[in-house]
Structure 1
Amino acid sequence: MTITIRPASTVMFTGDSITDLQRPHDEDPYACSYPVRVAGEWSLRHPDRPVTWLNTAVAGHKVMDLEARWQADVLDARPDVLSILVGVNDLGWHTLDPDGHVIPADEFKAGYGRLLAPLADAGTQLILIEPFLLPIQGVVEAGAALVGEREREQWREDLDPKIQAVHELAGEYGAHLIPADRMFAELSVTTGPEFWAEDGVHPTSAGHSVLATAWLDLVA
């Protein structure tokens, strides 16, 4: 089963900073981000099939943040295809922030499901991308803090049940799934994880490229 994008379709990406295009210019987001790569490659392959591309991702957002703006930012646009990547901000690394709040996997799944239900009912084609965490070695910067492997092991324990929740939701709502966490883990065996995401979370240009390729592989 594949995604069908017809002429004049509206395709929307949403989620957090990995999808958000509004990044500092010195990071060259327009050359790097997977949504832009997808749109650019589509235009090259199908110049006779114009598509409206939308991006409503916001850096730092969690499932509950998406839910708060879902009607205005997503449902009102009535996308034909919606691609979602969310979850890494729902992990334990937010405990480094005194105002952070980490929700358990069951609450994460319930909130995520509330996002999907009205879209599935409307016949929107859904693409869910696994949240991912690459196995970076040593100390890296997370926000304003420096964290090591012990903290990332705790994040992994928090992430795995949330990845499972995304798999279950894909089955329940008939969504397509991109297993990004598994994909990056397999790629990291030969190249090292830093090639795909220097901090283990935000993809490099190469990381965005493979995300875009995986996304386009779903399209008829």
Structure 2
Amino acid sequence: MHIKGSDTLLFIGDSITDAGRDRADSASLGNGYVDAVAQTLRERAQSGTATAPRVINRGISGNRVYDLESRWATDCIGLRPTVVTVKIGINDTWRYYDSGLPSPVDAFEACLDGLLADTAEQLSARLVVITPFLLPVTPEQEGWFEDLAPRTDAVLRAALAHGADVVRADHVLNRAAQEREAVELARDGVHPSPLGHRLIADAWLAAVDAAEPEPQRQ
């Protein structure tokens, strides 16, 4: 289904979505995958007669799913988007390993499920979920998958339960890491490089803005 010029696209999540945006400027998109998606959609509109959709970035660095919950009414529902993209999960894992801050997978899933259900009910918005990912650059990070793998499964279950489009950032970046060093894609294993962000943007466009199927001939 193509994104339309009348759509309002909201991207919400953690630092990967935030990508250094200027929070004093509500129109700032940062310098990551959200900006790359917006640029592609603007260029597409300029090459034809279409109007580019409005794009809003409400990522905040350091957020876990519970932080999203606390600001969902203002930063999601109140903005009345027609397409909502959520990228969350890696900090729920990271904070457990570096700070001992727990985020049980069942509680995480229930929280994310509630946010998606609330959005579908109040906005009838199209939902998009980007999976968390990790490209280990230290031996310690290899152990994070014990927590991250079931959390990713929880993200997928919540997405499926609400008919959300899924962007498998974990698959996309893992495939890229077979041909490149992990630090070329995410310097610390978590935060994407410009190339990493471009790959996520391309995956989002492929999953969410796929071409309409051609009508069958009679």
Question: Shorter-chain TM-score: which interval?
Answer: 0.7 to 0.9
Q: Which amino acid aligns with 1:192?
A: E
Residues 88 and 132 of structure 2 are in contact (CA less than 8 Å); yes or no, is this contact kept in structure 1? yes
1:108 partnered with 2:140: no
Which position in structure 1 is the counterpart of 2:174?
185
Q: Alignment partner for residue 49 of structure 1, among 48, 51, 54?
A: 51
Query: Aligned partners of 1:23, 1:159: CA distance in 2, in Å?
Result: 26
Q: Distance in 1 between matches of 2:53 and 2:21?
A: 24
Aligned-residue sequence identity (percent) comes to 36
The letter for the 1-side match of 2:15 is S
Q: How does 1:6-85 map to 2 (within 5 A)?
A: 6-22=4-20, 32-47=31-46, 48-85=50-87
- How many residues matched? 200
Query: Tell me, which stretches of 5 or more residues in structure 1 are unaligned?
Result: 139-148
1:173 aligns with 2:162: yes
- CA distance in structure 2 between the partners assigned to 1:119 and 1:191 by the alignment: 38
Cα deviations by residue, 1:167-192 (Å, 9 ceiling, x for unpaired):
11111000011111122111101112
| 2:10 aligned counterpart, secondary structure | strand
User: What TM-score does the superposition give when structure 2 sets the normalisation length?
Assistant: 0.86
What does residue range 192-211 of structure 1 map to in structure 2 within 5 Å? 192-211=181-200
- Matched residue SS, 2:52: coil
Quick one: distance in 1 between partners of 2:30 and 2:69? 29
Tell me how far apart the structure 2 counterparts of residues 205 and 119 of structure 1 sit (CA, whole Å). Answer: 30
1:92 positional shift? 4.4
CA distance in 2 between counterparts of 1:173 and 1:30 reads 27
For 2:104, the aligned partner's letter is P
Note closer, same or farther for the CA distance 1:93–1:155 as it changes in structure 2 (3 Å cut): farther
TM-score scaled by structure 1? 0.85
Shift of the alpha carbon at 1:46? 1.4
Counterpart residue type for residue 123 of structure 1: S
